């Protein structure tokens, strides 16, 4: 009989923590899970889900314009921020309830409050302490805002979904996928939108051709992109407006400033260092291939370990951890971080899997790049100037497709199927032998026959 209160104590009820807690409890493991904010973590509450709902909302304005070319005589349609905001809140409440029910049904004990690690086998929640054979840290990430004068006047992705009123002018600071997505959202909803980034071009780490293409398309959609520029300070005026001084000495007036300048591991106040858990300089938890920290009884996964900050990755890590701790020998294996597909719900969308052209040039002696840019069939009548980009990168020595990228409508949906093909080891010949679905944009991936460029040239 165990002398511990629980076999597994999970701190954080986000995607990874909930998945691990449920799977372990289903196997008869005595599980507790503690959460101090909301069920479902960042993704459900202030991340992927509400963001995607707002992306959907932002498309309608453009779709109303497109409809005229197809015979629908639409007049100017007003947008009601309050309706979107409240409907979003109701959906999130529904999802919170589902997470609560899933955990209840699994047999895991839910504890409300902030968990703090006291020692390798003890967690405190408020003034109560619980003992556990193993502790899992799954507290996710938190938005980072640099220490600029006036930072108290800016917003992060935690607050942006629930503004009291819709800002007619928005300044978005940052160059990652969150910044790019919110630029598209607010521009689509009708706000005068400016995106500021300190570097030469946003979406660092993505394929260069994709980055340049997306910038061109966003400008078409009335996003004012300003690169090599940053914020010096933010002042709030008596009118409620924000006066933002930029590093080039100019100022601009806006109604809201959103900082999307990255996220850091949510480890403050958890007591990890006092318990002997080693952290990176950025606060993320150091783990081995099986998510074990420097303290053998303490584990961590998801955004808090800062490997790949994606919800499906946290889910995979949670499942793999439970198999490693409580499964059979045959089930034990490390999570593969190769060929993880990802989407940026920018406007237009980005879908990508595998290597960028730049990475492929570094890793392979000879590659072929197939790239195609075109105006989708829909826009021959809609009158819109939006273009689609599709790109495939092939290792010539094996004919294996090592990277696929798309910018265009439903890119995220399309890249999921492509990811399965790459994971299965598809070659360029495999794509060439596949019959396309016509007329679709996706068929371009199986009809590109002539390389756009090859390396070495």
- Shared domain for 18 and 137, answered yes or no, is yes
- Shared domain for 292 and 389, answered yes or no, is no
Displacement of CA 110 from its chain's centroid (Å): 27
Phi, psi for residue 62 in degrees, rounded to 5? -70, -35
- Express each pLDDT in 349-390 by its tens digit: 999 999 999 999 999 999 999 999 999 999 999 999 999 999
Q: Flag whether 21 is in a domain.
A: yes
- Shared domain for 282 and 390, answered yes or no, is no
Sheet bearing 350-354, strands edge to edge:
342-344, 350-354, 401-407, 388-395, 367-374, 453-455
- Express each pLDDT in 297-349 by its tens digit: 999 999 999 999 999 999 999 999 999 999 988 888 899 999 999 999 999 99
- Shared domain for 192 and 49, answered yes or no, is no
Position 216 scores a pLDDT of 98
Last residue of a domain, one of 204, 227, 261: 261
Average pLDDT on 194-207 reads 98
Res 254 pLDDT > 60: yes
Res 2 pLDDT > 80: no
Q: How far apart are the first and last CA of the chain?
A: 68
Average pLDDT on 112-141 reads 97
Token reading at 371: 């790239």
For the chain, the three-class secondary structure string (H helix, E strand, C coil) is CCCCCEEEEEECCCHHHHHHHHHHHHCCCCEEEEECCCCCHHHHHHCHHHHHHHHHHHHHHHHHHHHHHHCCCCCCCCCCHHHHHHHHHHHHHHHHHHHHHHHHHHCCEEEECCEEEEECCEEEECCEEEEEEEEEECCCEEECCCCCCCHHHCECCCCHHHCCCCCCEEEEECCCHHHHHHHHHHHHHCCEEEEEECCCCCCCCCCHHHHHHHHHHHHHCCEEEEECCCEEEEEECCCCCEEEEECCCCEEEECEEEECCCEEECCCCCCCCCCCCCECCCCCECCCCCCECCCCCEEECHHHHCCCCCHHHHHHHHHHHHHHHHCCHHHCCCCCCCCCCEEECCCCCEEEEECCHHHHHHHCCCEEEEEEEECCCCHHHHCCCCCEEEEEEEECCCCEEEEEEEECCCHHHHHHHHHHHHHCCCEHHHHHHCCCCCCCCHHHHHCCCCCCEEECC
- Work out the percent of the chain whose per-residue pLDDT is above 70: 100
Token reading at 218: 């966003």
Which CATH number covers residue 376? 3.30.390.30
Res 236 pLDDT > 90: yes
- Tell me how far CA of residue 190 lies from CA of 23, 61, 134, 222, 260, in angstroms: 44, 8, 50, 10, 20
Q: Which domain covers residue 327, as residue numbers?
A: 6-142+264-331
Q: Which of 154, 149, 175 is nearest to 227 (CA)?
A: 175
- Shared domain for 10 and 110, answered yes or no, is yes
Q: Flag whether 17 is in a domain.
A: yes
Known catalytic residues? 438
Across all residues in the chain, what is the average pLDDT? Answer: 96
Position 457 scores a pLDDT of 83
Angle CA(266)–CA(174)–CA(316) in degrees, nearest 5?
45
Phi, psi for residue 200 in degrees, rounded to 5? -70, -35
Average pLDDT on 119-124 reads 98
Phi, psi for residue 261 in degrees, rounded to 5? -110, 35
Last residue of a domain, one of 214, 239, 261: 261
- Shared domain for 437 and 289, answered yes or no, is no
CA max distance for the chain: 73
Q: Is the dihedral of CA 411, 413, 417, 423 positive or negative?
A: positive
Res 162 pLDDT > 70: yes
Which CATH number covers residue 169? 3.50.50.60
> Would you tell me how many other CB atoms lie within 10 Å of the CB of residue 407?
28
Distance CA(37)–CA(132), nearest Å, equals 22
- Shared domain for 160 and 112, answered yes or no, is no
Average pLDDT on 68-85 reads 93
> Would you tell me how many other CB atoms lie within 10 Å of the CB of residue 128?
9
- Shared domain for 66 and 84, answered yes or no, is yes
- Shared domain for 155 and 197, answered yes or no, is yes
- Work out the percent of the chain whose per-residue pLDDT is above 90: 96
Quote the number of domains for the chain: 3
Average pLDDT on 220-249 reads 98
- Express each pLDDT in 12-71 by its tens digit: 999 999 999 999 999 999 999 999 998 999 999 999 999 999 999 999 999 999 999 999
- Shared domain for 305 and 272, answered yes or no, is yes
Last residue of a domain, one of 261, 278, 301: 261
**Cβ neighbours for 71, distance < 8 A, ≥ 6 positions apart:** none
- Shared domain for 270 and 250, answered yes or no, is no
Q: Flag whether 337 is in a domain.
A: no
Position 330 scores a pLDDT of 83
Cβ pair 220, 213 in contact under 8 A = no
- Express each pLDDT in 257-313 by its tens digit: 999 999 999 999 999 999 999 999 999 999 999 999 999 999 999 999 999 999 999
Distance CA(308)–CA(263), nearest Å, equals 12
Position 1 scores a pLDDT of 54
Phi, psi for residue 173 in degrees, rounded to 5? -110, 120
Distance CA(202)–CA(333), nearest Å, equals 36
Q: Flag whether 457 is in a domain.
A: no
Res 398 pLDDT > 80: yes
Token reading at 447: 């009809």
Q: Flag whether 1 is in a domain.
A: no
Residue bearing the bigger pLDDT, 332 or 139: 139
- Shared domain for 121 and 269, answered yes or no, is yes
Displacement of CA 383 from its chain's centroid (Å): 31
Q: Flag whether 362 is in a domain.
A: yes
Q: Flag whether 36 is in a domain.
A: yes
Q: Flag whether 336 is in a domain.
A: no
């Amino acid at each position: 009989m165990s002398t511990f209160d629980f076999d597994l104590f999970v701190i954080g009820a986000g995607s990874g923590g909930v998945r691990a807690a449920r799977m372990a409890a289903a196997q008869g493991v005595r599980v507790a899970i503690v959460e101090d904010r909301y069920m479902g973590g960042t993704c459900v509450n202030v991340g992927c889900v509400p963001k995607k709902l707002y992306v959907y909302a932002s498309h309608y304005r453009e779709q109303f314009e497109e409809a005229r070319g197809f015979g629908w005589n639409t007049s100017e349609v007003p947008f009601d921020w309050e309706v979107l905001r409240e409907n979003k809140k109701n959906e999130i409440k529904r999802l919170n309830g589902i997470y609560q029910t899933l955990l209840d049904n699994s047999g895991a004990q839910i504890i409300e409050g902030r968990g703090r690690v006291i020692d390798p086998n003890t967690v405190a929640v408020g003034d109560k302490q619980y003992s556990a054979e193993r502790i899992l840290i799954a507290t996710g990430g938190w938005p980072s805002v640099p220490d600029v004068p006036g930072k108290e006047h800016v917003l992060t992705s935690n607050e942006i979904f629930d503004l009291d009123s819709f800002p007619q002018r928005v300044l978005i600071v940052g160059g990652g996928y969150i910044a790019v997505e919110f630029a598209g959202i607010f521009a689509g909803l009708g706000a005068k939108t400016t995106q500021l980034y300190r570097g030469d071009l946003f979406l660092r780490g993505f394929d260069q051709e994709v980055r340049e293409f997306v910038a061109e398309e966003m400008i078409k959609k009335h996003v004012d992109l300003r690169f090599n520029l940053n914020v010096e300070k933010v002042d709030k005026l008596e009118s409620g407006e924000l006066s933002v001084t930029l590093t080039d000495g100019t100022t601009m007036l806006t109604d809201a400033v959103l900082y999307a300048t990255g996220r850091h591991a949510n480890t403050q106040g958890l007591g990890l260092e006092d318990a002997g858990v080693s952290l990176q300089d950025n606060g993320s938890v150091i783990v081995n291939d099986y998510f074990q920290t420097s303290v053998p009884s303490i584990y961590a996964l998801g955004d808090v370990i800062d490997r790949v900050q994606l919800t499906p990755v946290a889910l995979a890590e949670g499942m793999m951890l439970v198999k490693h701790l409580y499964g059979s020998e045959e089930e034990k294996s490390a999570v593969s971080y190769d060929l993880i597909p990802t989407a940026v719900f920018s406007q237009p969308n980005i879908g990508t899997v595998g290597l960028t052209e730049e990475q492929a040039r570094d890793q392979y002696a000879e590659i072929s790049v197939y790239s195609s840019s075109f105006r989708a069939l829909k826009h021959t009548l809609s009158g819109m100037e939006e273009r689609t980009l599709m790109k495939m990168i092939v290792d010539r020595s094996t004919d294996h497709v090592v990277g696929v990228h798309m910018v265009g409508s439903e890119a995220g949906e399309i890249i999921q199927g492509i990811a399965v093909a790459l994971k299965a080891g598809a070659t360029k010949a495999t794509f060439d032998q596949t019959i396309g679905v016509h007329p679709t944009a996706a068929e371009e991936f199986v009809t590109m026959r002539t390389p756009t460029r090859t390396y070495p040239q």
